[in-house]
Amino acid sequence: MGWGGFAGLTGDNVQHSHHALQICVADTGCIVEDEPGRRTGGPVLVVNARATHRLLPSARPVTLWYLDPQTRLARTLMTTRQASNRVWPATVPPERLSLDAILGALQPPTEALAEALGLTLGPAPVDARMADAVAWLHARGGEAISASAAAHATGLSVSRYLHRLRAYTGLPFRPYVRWLRILLAIESVLAGSSLTEAAHAAGFADAAHFSRTFRRHFGAAPLTVLGQVQPVSSRSQIVQAPGLTRQVR
């Protein structure tokens, strides 16, 4: 959890919105269309967390980095002057943000990304109770989780818990749990589960329910993105498909 990387060709996709902050990298330039239809182009683009957008199809490979908003790097990016925009360009040579450059660095990937972007990471979040609350949700994966049970486990009233969770994650309780289920289902597919198995393990009613939810968050059907993925190494957690390389944490 925390970050993910993709390298390959991007196909057609519809307007979508996901919880992660996204960095698009391409030598020949990325083009992102936001919800009002404005297009922003450049070798390195940052798409704000939860911003509705569409990445235009590419004829050349692109690299995409996904950052959970709770990571120090995402929090640092969201405090920059440009973060009031849905999409903004970063003045960084794209080769510094390639998968090989970041995954080959000696430091953790988010720290390597921060260095490549010329950023000094801000302090880690200090709300230890909500950090524990989020970890509690993550650990329960596809279980049916109620807000009252989560609040009780955190030692807060339901109203206080819901308020603090939204302030900490940026999402209300139900959308945040749904996001965690999407991530769990993706990890299950990448580990070799069928779409139906992954959907059930993550708490979706069926594969169709997961597919609709995935498309709303990533702009394409899960089989289009994940259908031919094969693991390269269980240790590295890198997986490859034709035109696709992905590392999941």
The distance from CA 117 to its chain's CA centroid, rounded to whole angstroms, is: 18
In this structure, whether the domain defined by 3-117 belongs to CATH 1.10.10.60 is answered with no
Reading the chain (249 residues) residue by residue, the pLDDT tens digits are 588 888 887 877 889 999 999 999 999 899 999 988 899 999 999 999 999 999 998 888 889 999 999 889 999 999 899 999 999 999 999 999 998 899 899 999 999 999 999 999 977 777 889 989 998 998 887 888 999 999 999 999 999 999 999 999 999 999 999 999 998 998 888 888 889 999 999 999 999 999 999 999 999 888 777 654 443 333 333 333 333 333 433
Helices (H) and strands (E) in the chain, counts: 10, 9
> What fold does the segment set 128-218 form as a domain?
Arc Repressor Mutant, subunit A (1.10.10)
User: Where are the domain boundaries for CATH 2.60.120.280 in the chain?
Assistant: 3-117
User: Which residue's entry shows tokens 């199809």?
Assistant: 57
Task: Please report the sign of the dihedral spanned by the C-alpha atoms of residue 199, residue 134, residue 16, residue 39.
Answer: negative
In the chain, ranges of CATH 1.10.10.60 domains: 128-218
Contacts of 193 (CB under 8 A, 6+ apart): 201
The model's pTM is 0.85
Rg of the chain, C-alpha, whole Å: 18
